[in-house]
Amino acid sequence: METEEPEYAQILELTRRLVRKRQQAPAFAAGQDPVPYAGRVYDEREVEAGVRSMLDFWLTLGPEGDAFERSLAATLGVRNSLLTNSGSSANLLAVSALTSPQLGERRLLPGDEVITVAAGFPTTVSPILQNRAVPVFIDNDPLTGNARVDQLEDAFVPGKTKAVFMAHTLGNPFDLTAVSQFCRRHGLWLLEDNCDALGSRYDGELTGSFGDLSTQSFYPPHHITMGEGGAVNVVRNPRLKTLVESFRDWGRDCWCDSGCDDTCGKRFGWQLGELPPGYDHKYIYTHVGYNLKPTDPQAAIGRVQLEKLPDFVAARIENWNYLRQALADLEDHFDFMLPTHATGWSDGSFHWQPGAPHVAPSWFGFMLIVKEQAPCTRTELAHALDRHKIGNRMLFGGNLVRQPALVQLRREYDKRPAATGHPPFRVVGDLAGADRLMNHAIFVGVYPGLTEHQLAFIADAIRACCHGDKLAESAA
């Protein structure tokens, strides 16, 4: 097309030139310029890919989407990847697929239970509730941020528990050995929320490749971005691909790609439900589904981002290590996050449980827990970082059981006559670890767009908060 239409080549060259010009940012001014906790990292290649796709004007999911799905599946080493319009939608589809009657006795029914972890992001839990199942919350280990796997057996109820669904917190893989063995022992589905962990490894294998299904988010703060967007990864079972695709695409029974007809060779040869024989297969629906697809220009951008994933992961690890080393003298004031199976950190490296699988997080953020005896509280630290325009976040929703939405569900249930029906959720233990994360944890960014100057400024601001916020005084 470029040789036939010189205007096309001109548009692309001007696009590249404009992006390069806009990315010539001035030097960072500490205390004046913001330091985001996360953000998109891109160059002219992503913008050019998006423009190319727009010029072709294939707006719905099409050839770029197909190529991205294949590349993502190959990267993770899974059978299939199916793009969605967000990571939240990916989680919804993963749980919804398990409700299909086609799964027989393993189907997730209303009132069945799904084990998850108390502290985290709500969209890991919301799909369980939206499908009228019961989330069962186990506690977090505050140092890893992940589930206390010693509570799994206490959470299990024969005949009621059908699945485990939990996230790799801030890119730190949860104990996949213990969780996988637990699921195999009891015949449970395992869903990995891999939205914050693309590129993380557990025992040498990428997270997102251990469960039956896993999910990704490509929202700008995540490891790669296509704007809004996400994916469901089908690890092994081809039947699950058909189910996820059906729920994603209106609940239809037909598996023809957009613009294709009669893939099965008998478009007018089906008789399903109470429809008349020969009803058009493209308009037969076996599930109550959604329309949760992204667009092809988004996928074009995502393909370029995926090529950069190894460099992005390396930068996140390097940035995390920089902050850990820079704050090593503040261990009296903070507990620092540890990878699963690690026992400590010193002299720039982690110490590991003997014989345990090696864990290599692709860090989403740098989390610290403010100790009770620290000279500042978590809230005071957050305010100090805000004053210096340093982006910071709590560990998402904290203990989700304390969130207004779940408190309201519990109150409504308690008001029912004799508390009829199944409860909205169930809790194992006192959730002390989740409460500690809710009350004392905070994280700052490690995304690839941060410079060493910005990382040093983050470390100085945290240290200053422990010493009367002297950094703010000097900046003034």
* Token output for 317: 């690890």
Pick the CATH number of 53-305 from 3.40.1390.10, 3.90.79.10, 3.40.640.10, 3.30.2040.10: 3.40.640.10
pLDDT band of residue 168 (cuts 50, 70, 90) is very high
**DSSP code at position 419:** G
CA distance 214 to 191: 5
pLDDT band of residue 265 (cuts 50, 70, 90) is confident
> How many CB atoms within 10 Å of residue 113?
23
pLDDT band of residue 4 (cuts 50, 70, 90) is low
- Rounded to the nearest 10°, the torsion over CA 247, 252, 253, 259 is -110
Residue 25's pLDDT is 80
Residue 420's pLDDT is 66
Residue 475's pLDDT is 42
CA distance 365 to 167: 14
pLDDT band of residue 264 (cuts 50, 70, 90) is confident
Beta strands 201-202 and 359-360: pairing type?
Answer: antiparallel
Using DSSP's 3-state secondary structure scheme, residue 430 falls into: coil
pLDDT band of residue 1 (cuts 50, 70, 90) is very low
pLDDT band of residue 261 (cuts 50, 70, 90) is confident
Catalytic site residue from 168, 186, 222, 281: 222
CA distance 416 to 209: 42
Nearest to 390 by CA among 35, 28, 40: 35
User: Which of 385-412 are b and which e, b meaning 16 or more Cβ less than 10 Å from the residue's Cβ?
Assistant: beebbbbbbbbbbbbbbeeeebeeeeee
pLDDT at 192 over 80: yes
Q: What angle do CA 60, 63, 69 make, to 5 degrees?
A: 95
Nearest to 323 by CA among 376, 292, 366: 366
Residue 3's pLDDT is 53
Spatial contact of 186 and 56, defined as CB atoms under 8 Å apart = no
**DSSP code at position 256:** P
**Top-confidence residue, 282 or 3:** 282
Domain boundaries, the chain: 53-305, 309-475
CA distance 322 to 316: 10
> How many CB atoms within 10 Å of residue 429?
16
Q: pLDDT for 330-366, tens place per residue?
A: 999 999 999 999 999 998 999 999 999 999 999 999 9
CATH topology of domain 309-475: Aspartate Aminotransferase, domain 1 (3.90.1150)
- Has 281 been annotated as catalytic? no
Helix (H) or strand (E) holding 152: helix 152-155
Residue 257's pLDDT is 77
Q: pLDDT for 5-55, tens place per residue?
A: 889 999 999 999 999 999 988 889 999 999 999 999 999 999 999 999 999
Q: Tell me if domain 53-305 and domain 309-475 are identical in fold.
A: no
**Helical pair 296-307 and 309-326, crossing angle rounded to 10 deg:** 60
pLDDT band of residue 473 (cuts 50, 70, 90) is very low
pLDDT at 259 over 90: no
pLDDT at 472 over 80: no
Average predicted confidence (pLDDT) for the chain: 95
